[in-house]
């Protein structure tokens, strides 16, 4: 199978027609006409600023997820320190970096943006972003469901500036909001006093400091499109649409996954692609799996990548239970609407391990087991509101390595379980995303939670670069071992065509103690059988006839002859045929 384009080659005329059609669905006639006129002007303006070059996703694409100030050093801007880390420690195996919101912000470690077009001065400057972009492609965050209450946009809204009239969702508190799906337990509406001493009840999906934008006003859309195109101008190769499922509000509905939301994503995609068709749109929607993958659209009109939210909890559950049945059955059912889209596979992130995606995959008892293990391993559980009183688990807060192991376990056990989980992610169909703390084997940062009283900070520790360098060079240390093994596996993955994100795959049945996935390649001789032992003792499996008699594990270079394969506790192999 040849490399697939991850975008559709529409003509300029067809693309403009699609934009116009989406506008006519979302807005009334006059607003749609005005919006279309302004969008054409935006496209023409940015076309003169941006040079577009074709780019195609392959197995060489690996994304590191990190904060702009993830590593720090005295007398140096954090973004410059991050650039040094990327160049000196991962450039040979990781070609892309997702820098979590680096804009000026007021809370939530960047996700309450004060100024969409600025760089937080405590992290660095646009010059620093440009330096990173010289050697790495960059994913920018489009935090466009909400912004900070301290933003100029919101202050001008409260000041009754006509330019920002109806920029935010001002709602009558007596309205029936009982159908609204909530990702938090905090109040949906927050009171603000405007400059005329009038109380404004503003929609705040994610908390009081994050005021939701009102896309029913087409002028909001125009401002946001300008921001997204500005990101492309500044070097964004990928744009992550944060919490995008919630952007359209309509009374009497759940206010999530509405038709207008999907139309707006399609519109944003076409506007961006009218200027730079190689830019990848990735949606972040921590919702049940079937709802999550709806953001692929037809496979040609919405996100090119979708966060594979079900993978992290299912992978952890399989390791903790020593049972791969749920993981295997779910993986067998993975389907994509076209060969132009793929999953973004990950285990850990700045947010923790979301569990909404597996609400209909794990039973209540199985979910209870996962929550119990999280707490036993020193982690925390965050909840979301259902109605006025009921709460349901939303995410697990801990480092992924600690989720998989008990505090009393030794580092040898930690390494085995952690690397097993990461090797599965690297073998799955799609593009892998690696959280910085997973790459260097970080443990849960309990002190942060004691200081902030925010569960998510348990996996958001900032690291002194000088200390980190020492840890990565200490041969017997956990951080060194994880980092070195991770890099070794990555160095193999990026050179194997079978791991092309668009290639076909099969899940093989070797019983509930093992998980196996066959990754097809255009050249049959490059096919890989990735096989994983999910239990703490030796297992033996019988390989299918198609594997042939002579195989080599491309990770260890160990040769295997015959049909029987023995795997030690938590061992994994990537097998290829030996060509004689």
In angstroms, rounded to a whole number, what is the distance separating the alpha carbons of residues 226 and 117? 10
β-strand 431-435 against 210-212: which pairing, if any?
Answer: unpaired
β-strand 305-307 against 280-284: which pairing, if any?
Answer: parallel
* CB 175 within 8 Å of CB 251: yes
In angstroms, rounded to a whole number, what is the distance separating the alpha carbons of residues 270 and 16? 8
* CB 228 within 8 Å of CB 272: yes
β-strand 236-242 against 210-212: which pairing, if any?
Answer: unpaired
Tell me if residue 242 is catalytic.
yes
Per-residue b or e along 330-345, where b marks 16 or more CB atoms closer than 10 Å to that residue's CB: bbeebebebebbbbbb
Residue indicated by tokens 């006519």:
24
Burial of 128 (0-12, 13-18, 19+ CB in 10 A): buried
Give the E-state strand segments of 14-66 in sequence order: 63-66
In angstroms, rounded to a whole number, what is the distance separating the alpha carbons of residues 158 and 192? 8
Write a three-state SS string for 72-93. Answer: ECCCCCHHHHHHHHHHHHHCCC
Instruction: Taking the CA atoms of 383, 384, 390 and 392 in sequence, report the sign of the dihedral they define.
Output: negative
Residue indicated by tokens 């692929």:
296
* CB 266 within 8 Å of CB 19: no
Per-residue b or e along 164-195, where b marks 16 or more CB atoms closer than 10 Å to that residue's CB: beebbbbbeeeeebeebbbbbeeebbbebeee
* CB 216 within 8 Å of CB 31: no
Q: Report residue 160 as tokens.
A: 């009754």
* CB 353 within 8 Å of CB 373: no
Q: Is 562 left (phi over 0), alpha (psi -120 to 50) or beta?
A: left
Q: 69, 141, 212, 242: which one is catalytic?
A: 242
Gap between the terminal Cα atoms of the chain: 24
- For residue 558, the cross-strand partners are none
User: Nearest CA to 428 among 342, 351, 486, 370?
Assistant: 342
In angstroms, rounded to a whole number, what is the distance separating the alpha carbons of residues 369 and 396? 12
CA torsion angle 304 310 311 316 (round to 10):
160
Element (H, E) at 400: helix 400-404
In angstroms, rounded to a whole number, what is the distance separating the alpha carbons of residues 569 and 536? 4
Q: Report residue 564 as tokens.
A: 């029987």
Point out the residues that are catalytic.
Answer: 242
């Amino acid at each position: 199978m040849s490399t697939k384009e991850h975008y559709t080659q529409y003509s300029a005329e067809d693309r403009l027609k699609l934009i116009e059609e989406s506008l006519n669905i979302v807005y009334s006639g006059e607003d749609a006409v005005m919006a279309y006129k302004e969008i054409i002007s935006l496209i023409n303006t940015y076309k003169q600023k941006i040079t577009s070059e074709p780019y195609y996703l392959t197995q060489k694409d690996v994304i590191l997820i990190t904060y702009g100030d993830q590593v720090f050093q005295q007398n140096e801007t954090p973004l410059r320190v991050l650039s040094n880390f990327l160049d000196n420690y991962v450039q040979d195996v990781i070609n892309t970096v997702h820098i979590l919101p680096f804009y000026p912000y007021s809370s939530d470690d960047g996700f309450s943006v004060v100024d969409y077009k600025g760089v937080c001065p405590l992290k660095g400057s646009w010059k620093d972003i440009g330096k990173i972009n010289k050697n790495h492609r960059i994913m920018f965050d489009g935090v466009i469901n909400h912004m900070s209450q301290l933003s100029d946009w919101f202050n001008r809204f409260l000041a009754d500036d006509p330019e920002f009239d109806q920029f935010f969702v001002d709602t009558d508190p007596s309205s029936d909001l009982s159908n609204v799906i909530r990702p938090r337990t905090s109040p949906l509406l927050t009171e603000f006093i405007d400059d005329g001493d009038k109380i404004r009840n503003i929609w705040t999906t994610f908390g009081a400091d994050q005021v939701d934008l009102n896309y029913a006003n087409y002028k909001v859309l125009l401002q946001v499109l300008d921001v997204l195109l500005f990101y492309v101008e500044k070097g964004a190769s990928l744009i992550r649409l944060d919490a995008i499922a919630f952007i359209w509000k309509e009374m009497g509905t759940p206010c999530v996954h509405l038709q207008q939301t999907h139309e707006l994503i399609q519109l944003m995609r076409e506007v961006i692609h009218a200027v730079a068709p190689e830019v990848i749109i990735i949606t972040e929607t921590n919702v049940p799996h079937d709802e999550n993958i709806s953001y692929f659209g037809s496979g040609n009109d919405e996100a090119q990548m979708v966060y594979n939210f079900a993978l992290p909890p299912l992978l952890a559950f399989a390791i903790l239970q020593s049972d791969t049945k749920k993981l295997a059955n779910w993986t067998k059912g993975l389907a994509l609407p076209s060969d132009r889209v793929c999953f973004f596979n990950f285990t850990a992130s700045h947010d923790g391990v979301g569990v909404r995606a597996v609400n209909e995959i794990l039973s209540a008892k199985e979910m209870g087991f996962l929550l119990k293990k999280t707490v036993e391993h020193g982690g925390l559980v965050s909840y979301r509101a259902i109605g006025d009183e009921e709460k349901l688990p939303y995410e697990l807060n801990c480092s992924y390595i600690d989720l998989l192991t008990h505090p009393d376990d030794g580092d040898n056990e930690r390494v085995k379980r952690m690397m097993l989980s990461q090797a599965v992610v690297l073998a799955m169909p799609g593009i892998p995303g690696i959280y910085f703390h997973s790459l260097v084997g970080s443990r849960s940062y309990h002190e942060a939670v004691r200081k902030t009283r925010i569960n998510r900070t348990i996996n958001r520790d900032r690291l002194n670069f000088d200390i980190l360098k020492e840890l990565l060079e200490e041969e017997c240390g956990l951080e060194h071992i994880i980092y070195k093994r991770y890099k070794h596996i990555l160095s193999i993955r990026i050179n194997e065509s079978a791991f092309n994100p668009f290639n076909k795959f099969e899940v093989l049945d070797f019983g509930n103690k093992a998980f196996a996935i066959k990754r097809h390649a255009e050249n049959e001789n490059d096919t890989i059988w990735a096989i994983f032992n999910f239990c703490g003792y030796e297992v033996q499996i019988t390989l299918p006839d198609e594997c042939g008699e002579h195989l080599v594990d491309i990770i260890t270079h160990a040769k295997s002859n015959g049909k029987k394969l023995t795997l030690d506790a938590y061992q994994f192999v990537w097998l290829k045929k030996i060509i004689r």
